Amino acid sequence: MTEPTNSLPFAKMSGAGNDFIIIDNRTGGVLELDLPDWVRRICTRRISIGADGLLLIEPSPDEGTDFQWRFFNADGSVAEMCGNAARCVARYAFLKGIAAQSLRFKTIAGIIAAEVQGEVVKIKMTAPFDLVPQRTLKLADRTLPVGSVNTGVPHVVSVVPDVEAVDVIALGRAIRHHPNYQPAGTNANFVSRGADGAWSIRTYERGVEGETLACGTGNVAAAIVLAATQELESPVTFRTRSGSDLTVCFERKGGAFHAVYLAGDARLVYEGQMTADAWTF
């Protein structure tokens, strides 16, 4: 964690409703002591800054990349990838002169390429894998047809008649902890198509342990599963819980998906200085 006598600059960003704390840690201002607990405290809403996750920008050991990140969920756990956080950090890096409009950065899931165009950021996702387009999931009180795919992190996708009628917390938690997806667990997404043909999505996120207003990797997972099961063609746009739209583009050859992109808004909400009061409680 940081030295308790120092204040620490940070930024708060929102990507389609997913909110993140971003810290430029290229000079090593954040110490490693009990870092997961420190992150959890800072991400606690109403008591501290509050966010769906926190990311550190750090020097990259790889040539051809502008920086690397470390991304933490709100509960302090490390996540391999987060699509909306990736779009946010790309815009932040451009605004702060860390990188150009076209940039590349390193994540646990792989190298992410991004393009910043005003408030809209488009990222090239790592190739999806472990696609299971259809299976029946046995839960305690029902069976549920689902698909699953890893889009940097694991996701389950369920097509439902109306996402507004879904108990996302209860059903999402049951899927997240299902034995089929242990020990790491999974994220759970619920999608439905309205009378106007538009798709809507709601997501229960592992690591946040609740519903978030948007999930970039979840939108990509939903697009891949729908393309595999309903022959949906690229691009696919989803209306997220926040009301913002996220668009997924992809190419498909046989059963394999590649050249997968995610685009949507990434907004710098505010910047500030956090003090020890943000984490000493």
Comparing CA positions, the residue from 205, 203, 171, 199 lying closest to residue 185 is: 205
Q: What is the share, in percent, of the chain residues with pLDDT greater than 70?
A: 98
Output the pTM of the full model.
Answer: 0.93
At 129, which helix (H) or strand (E)? strand 129-138
Q: Active-site residue among 43, 82, 88, 249? A: 82
**Is 249 considered catalytic here?**
no
88 catalytically annotated: no
pLDDT in tens, 116-128: 999 999 999 999 9
Q: Does the structure show a pLDDT above 70 at 64? A: yes
Query: Which pLDDT tens digit goes with each residue over 69-104?
Result: 999 999 999 999 999 999 999 999 999 999 999 999
Distance separating alpha carbons of residues 89 and 20, to the nearest angstrom: 9
* Neighbour tally for 9: CB within 10 Å: 12
What pLDDT is attached to residue 135?
A: 96
Which letter, b or e, does each residue of 101-140 get, where b requires 16 or more Cβ atoms within 10 Å of its Cβ? Answer: eebbbbbebeebbbbbeeeebbbbbbebeebebeeebeee
Q: What is the pLDDT of residues 168-196, one digit of tens each?
A: 999 999 999 999 999 999 999 999 999 88
Q: Which of the following is catalytic: 43, 88, 215, 249?
A: 215
What domains can you pick out in the chain, each with its CATH number? 8-124+267-275 (3.10.310.10), 129-264 (3.10.310.10)
Q: How confident is the model at residue 31, as a pLDDT?
A: 79
Residues with Cβ within 8 Å of 276's Cβ and at least 6 positions away in sequence, in order, are 2, 4, 5
The pLDDT tens digits of the residues spanning 232-278 come to 999 999 999 999 999 999 999 888 999 999 999 999 999 999 999 99
- What letter represents residue 124's amino acid? K
pLDDT at 7: 87
Which tens digit of pLDDT belongs to each residue from 13-38? 999 999 999 999 999 888 787 999 99
Q: What is the pLDDT of residue 269?
A: 98
264 neighbors 10 (Cβ within 8 angstroms): no
Asked if pLDDT for residue 132 goes beyond 60, the answer is yes
